[in-house]
Structure 1
Amino acid sequence: MSHDEQVAAEQAARWNGPSGRAWADNQDLLDRLYEPFEKLLVRYVDDASGQQVLDVGCGTGSTTLAVGRVSGGRAVGVDISEPMIAVARRRASSADVSADFVTADMQTHEFTDTRFDTIVSRFGVMFFSDPVAAFRNLHRATTGSGNLRMIVWRNPDDRDIMVAAENATASLLPDLPPRPPSVPATPGQFAFADPDLVSPIFRESGWRDVSIDPLDVDLSMPAGDMLRYVTTFGRVGVQLPTVDETVRAQVIERVSETFTGFADGADVRYTAACWLVSAQA
């Protein structure tokens, strides 16, 4: 097995295992927190009047369904995680929306009967073992005038709620997993954080008129929901199940104390640092 094949297999196991189940189990939480990103992508699709729209790394389908409501055509969501796709299909079956969902790896999956006018993604493209192959495959899946719009994470600073929680609990969680390096060859949340490394991927895979613009989005939820988010996802969320109940209680207390610096009435609010990436086929 090659290195790329091994990494792809690891990602498939991750998103069909604990990570995928965590996203599926907390679909309501993530939909509410990430709704501002969804609205941005929906607005773009509405402006672009795309008839055939592909949502890459669609997760539990919220963005796909929202896009389907405005595209005037067909929306397709693709994700490597069967647990998340199963949730997306259940949601679609109860919604009056033209949306389909496919469990597949976009590095290799071929859409033989459809060419897409628009490709969107909300935090779904940072986990490819071979990003050039993936975006070349996406390029092949578009029409001649197809376009792409995706949102990815920038490197966060201390104003990010996850970073603040990590700093507050570092002494209690000395085995916090390291942040993967911000390079596309290392799949992870911040793999696309460095635009100087990301731009060549698009050029090599056939895309043109590439722009990578900073996007700062205010995210807000009630304190109890934000606590659930921080202690389920990110590095604190990964480490928390490995500690005993005493340490767990101490971690939760410190995270809760951290929220005072982000308080907005009964809510916790912070600014998410992202990139908005656009390209033409």
Structure 2
Amino acid sequence: MTRRERSMPIDNSEQIAEWNGALGQRWVAMQRELDRIVVPFGDAALKAAAPQPGEQVIDIGCGCGDTSIEIARIVGAAGAVLGIDVSQPMLEVARSRGALANCAHLAFRFGDASEAGLPENIDLLFSRFGVMFFSEPTQAFGHLRKSLRRGGRCAFVCWRTPRDNAWAMTPLSAARTAMGVTPPPADPNAPGPFAFADADRVRALLSGAGFGGIDVQRFDAAVSLGATPRSAAESAVQIGPVSRFVREVGLEHLPVILDAVERALAALAAPDGHVSMNGSAWIVSATNPA
């Protein structure tokens, strides 16, 4: 495959630094818990993407490689899959998993997909919650689109609004209450998990980047947080919005926050103690005009 380089830089340095520090290490350590949250949504996005045998695919924000390996299985030896991510800790796991899967047509690469040189004539761009962190999303999607062949496809999943995702916001609300914190109004379009919550904005971004055939569909699924309120709370304070809040207020407050989150989740637990809450996302698909 030939590669194409960008000439205009995009500054995602803050995000990249986070994913190569403690955040990336936490996501590696909590991979099993994260899978409980994201796998149903990723499976729905893969169904919409419909990779085919022999296709060439880029998996954007591939993380620990789950979706890349599954796509490689589908496209087979006649195809090729490149997983790209900005987190070296997660890529180390991805490469180990890829080696165990014995997929010679699967490769992983460190890089910022919004500006990295990418293979050309790609059939499919895919992402499971990996595209909401771009500092300049229209520019980033325009760059990505140029790697697609004419008629090539783009498919990704992104979270809807915070209020539609109780699994994330219930623990955060409990943590804020425990600390007596009332957050200032946030920029809903700032890079982060909920940056693409507005479906109209997603359509506008993709259209502005030159995509056509844009389709945005709601997908809801139950998010399993843990077998007990305590285990669910322990997961919540390490990943998702609560983990960032803990860093903001100081780790010395972690015991108080953990107890508050546990109490909030206990009130919602099933009779057997399991904690499951609603999650809601957009399944987005688009094409590079022929």
Aligned residue for 2:89? 83
> Structure 2 residue aligned with 1:96, among 102, 109, 112?
102
In the TM superposition, residue 148 of structure 1 has moved relative to its aligned partner by 1.1
In the TM superposition, residue 133 of structure 1 has moved relative to its aligned partner by 1.6
In the TM superposition, residue 165 of structure 1 has moved relative to its aligned partner by 1.4
Aligned residue for 1:236? 242
With the length of structure 1 as denominator, give the TM-score of the two structures: 0.87
CA shift in 2, pair 1:159/1:100, >3 Å? closer
Q: How many residues align?
A: 273
Residues 1:68 and 2:72 aligned together: yes
> Structure 2 residue aligned with 1:141, among 144, 147, 154?
147
Aligned residue for 1:222? 227
8 Å CA contact retained: 1:139, 1:205: yes
Identity rate, percent: 30
In the TM superposition, residue 189 of structure 1 has moved relative to its aligned partner by 1.1
In the TM superposition, residue 40 of structure 1 has moved relative to its aligned partner by 1.8
Quote the Cα distance in structure 2 between the aligned partners of 1:138 and 1:238: 29
Q: Secondary structure of 2:44's match? A: helix
> Structure 2 residue aligned with 1:271, among 270, 278, 282?
278
Quote the Cα distance in structure 2 between the aligned partners of 1:159 and 1:192: 13
Q: Secondary structure of 2:215's match? A: strand
Instruction: State the one-letter code of the partner of 2:139.
Output: A
Quote the Cα distance in structure 1 between the aligned partners of 2:58 and 2:231: 30
In the TM superposition, residue 134 of structure 1 has moved relative to its aligned partner by 1.1
Quote the Cα distance in structure 2 between the aligned partners of 1:50 and 1:215: 28
Instruction: State the one-letter code of the partner of 1:248.
Output: L
Cα deviation, 1:163-193, whole Å, max 9, x if unaligned, reads 111222223334587674221xx21111111
Residues 1:15 and 2:19 aligned together: yes
Quote the Cα distance in structure 2 between the aligned partners of 1:107 and 1:51: 22
8 Å CA contact retained: 2:160, 2:197: yes
8 Å CA contact retained: 1:110, 1:141: no
8 Å CA contact retained: 2:63, 2:87: yes
> Structure 1 residue aligned with 2:112, among 105, 115, 120?
105
8 Å CA contact retained: 2:160, 2:282: yes
Gaps of 5+ in 1: none
Comparing both chains, which one has the higher relative contact order based on Cα–Cα distances under 8 Å and sequence gaps of 6 or more?
2
Instruction: State the one-letter code of the partner of 2:197.
Output: A
Residues 1:187 and 2:194 aligned together: no
Instruction: State the one-letter code of the partner of 1:120.
Output: F
Q: Secondary structure of 1:266's match? A: coil
Aligned residue for 1:59? 63
Cα deviation, 1:209-242, whole Å, max 9, x if unaligned, reads 1111211111224225422321102332223352
In the TM superposition, residue 6 of structure 1 has moved relative to its aligned partner by 8.0
In the TM superposition, residue 62 of structure 1 has moved relative to its aligned partner by 1.0
8 Å CA contact retained: 1:76, 1:101: yes
Cα deviation, 1:24-81, whole Å, max 9, x if unaligned, reads 2222221233221232233334465561121111111111111211122222111111
CA RMSD of aligned residues (A): 2.4
Aligned residue for 1:33? 37
Residues 1:206 and 2:210 aligned together: yes
Gaps of 5+ in 2: 1-7
Quote the Cα distance in structure 1 between the aligned partners of 2:137 and 2:90: 22
Instruction: State the one-letter code of the partner of 1:240.
Output: V
8 Å CA contact retained: 1:181, 1:190: no
CA shift in 2, pair 1:74/1:238, >3 Å? same
With the length of structure 2 as denominator, give the TM-score of the two structures: 0.85
Aligned residue for 1:252? 258
CA shift in 2, pair 1:226/1:179, >3 Å? farther
Quote the Cα distance in structure 1 between the aligned partners of 2:165 and 2:146: 39
Instruction: State the one-letter code of the partner of 1:132.
Output: T
8 Å CA contact retained: 1:20, 1:84: yes
Quote the Cα distance in structure 2 between the aligned partners of 1:71 and 1:225: 37
CA shift in 2, pair 1:45/1:161, >3 Å? closer
Aligned residue for 1:165? 171
